[in-house]
A = this chain, B = another copy of it.
Amino acid sequence: MVQLGLVGLGKMGFNMRERLRAAGHEVVGYDRNPEVSDTGSLAELVDRLDSPRIVWVMVPAGEPTRQTVVEFSELLREGDLLIDGGNSKFTDDKINAELLAAKGIGYLDVGVSGGVWGRENGYGLMVGGAESDVARAMPIFDALRPEGPREEGFSHAGSVGAGHYAKMVHNGIEYGLMQAYAEGFELLEAAKMVDNVPQVIKGWQRGTVVRSWLLELLVRALDEDPELDDLEGYVEDSGEGRWTLEEAINNSVPAPVISAALFARFASRQEDSAAMRAVAALRNQFGGHAVRKVGE
């Protein structure tokens, strides 16, 4: 059994603490929310861990993660190991690793997939960093990852940054998969050629080529709301789709599906589209085509 400091006890971190404790590990958690926190501060968390320490940062990507790493660079000691399990951009990892390496502190970046289901099913893990650091944290990874062969739910993807890179591409693919199902759902709904769309989709869960975990989730959603009409078609994006597309650009890789999925999200959040106002204006100019004026 190992001892772990875990910072960030939101939807992901809270469940991970549960899963780790269920596996017999000792977890000392910190969160700004005192109701879920085991300690009052990062400093107290560090004090409560035996040397050499392992701390896992599970806070929002970007400034919050960067800030937490900087604080830990002051609090941790040579030989300790910090793991960033958040959805950080892979370019942050090198910065974090160098800051910590200057003090003899190890660094791993881990892409964690599985969402709220991870507590029960285990989390898919993609890890970047040094082999020795990976080996040291393996008991934690083994507790977090799903049952079954390790290599089917865990990979040591490469050196620092590779874990978040693999997770970024994973999420880019995820965008595409979701949009593919979504387009099929909309077509079935619109065409009215099948009598019961949820029943058809439910029937795809076994034997078909499109069976997947996402499909099972779609079936669950349709069980609760068969036309999904309690929801608005408004979809956020958390950054990883954008980074995947940036990387596609940087590497001259055509990514029409991933970009289409990202743009569909952008468009879903627009009340009105400036681009389509321009198209409407053009049609009106050359053809005298009717346009819809605001307020009419």
Q: Cα distance A249–B175 when bound, in Å?
A: 15
Contact indicator B245/A282 (Cβ below 8 Å): no
**Please, how many angstroms separate the alpha-carbon atoms of A274 and B186 in the complex?**
5
| Among candidates B148, B154, B178, B187, residue contacting A172 with C-beta atoms closer than 8 Å | B187
The size of the chain A interface, using a CB distance under 8 A, is 139
Smallest CB separation, A86 vs chain B (Å): 14
Q: How far is the CA of A58 from the CA of B247 in the complex (A)?
A: 29
Q: Is the interface of A mostly helix, strand, loop or mixed?
A: helix
How far does the Cβ of A296 sit from chain B's closest Cβ, in whole Å? 8
Residues of B within 8 A of A193 (CB): 90, 158, 161-162, 165-166
| Known A162-B193, A162-B194; contact A152-B218, beta-carbon cutoff 8 A | no
Cβ contacts under 8 Å, A229 to chain B:
277, 294
B187 touches A169 (CB 8 A): yes
List B contacts of A209 (CB < 8 A).
113-115, 124, 170-171, 174, 213-214, 286
Contact of A257 among B145, B248, B261 (CB under 8 A): B261
Complex contact A177–B174 (CB within 8 A): no
With an 8 A cutoff between CB atoms, is A212 at the interface? Answer: yes
**Which of B194, B289, B290 is A165 in contact with, Cβ under 8 Å?**
B194
Residues in B with CB closer than 8 Å to A156 are 199
Stretch at the interface among A30-38, A49-57, A233-241: A233-241
A63 at interface, CB cutoff 8 A: no
Q: What would 18 A/B residue contacts be, using CB atoms closer than 8 Å?
A: A114-B286, A116-B288, A146-B206, A147-B206, A151-B199, A157-B195, A162-B195, A176-B179, A182-B279, A184-B244, A185-B274, A187-B247, A221-B278, A231-B277, A232-B294, A233-B280, A256-B260, A256-B263
The 5 A-B pairs at the shortest CB distance, nearest first, are namely A176-B180, A212-B212, A155-B203, A233-B276, A124-B208
Which residues in A have some Cβ–Cβ distance to B below 8 Å?
11, 90, 113-118, 121-126, 145-148, 151-159, 161-162, 165-166, 169-191, 193-196, 199-200, 202-215, 217-218, 220-222, 225, 228-236, 242, 244-269, 272-294
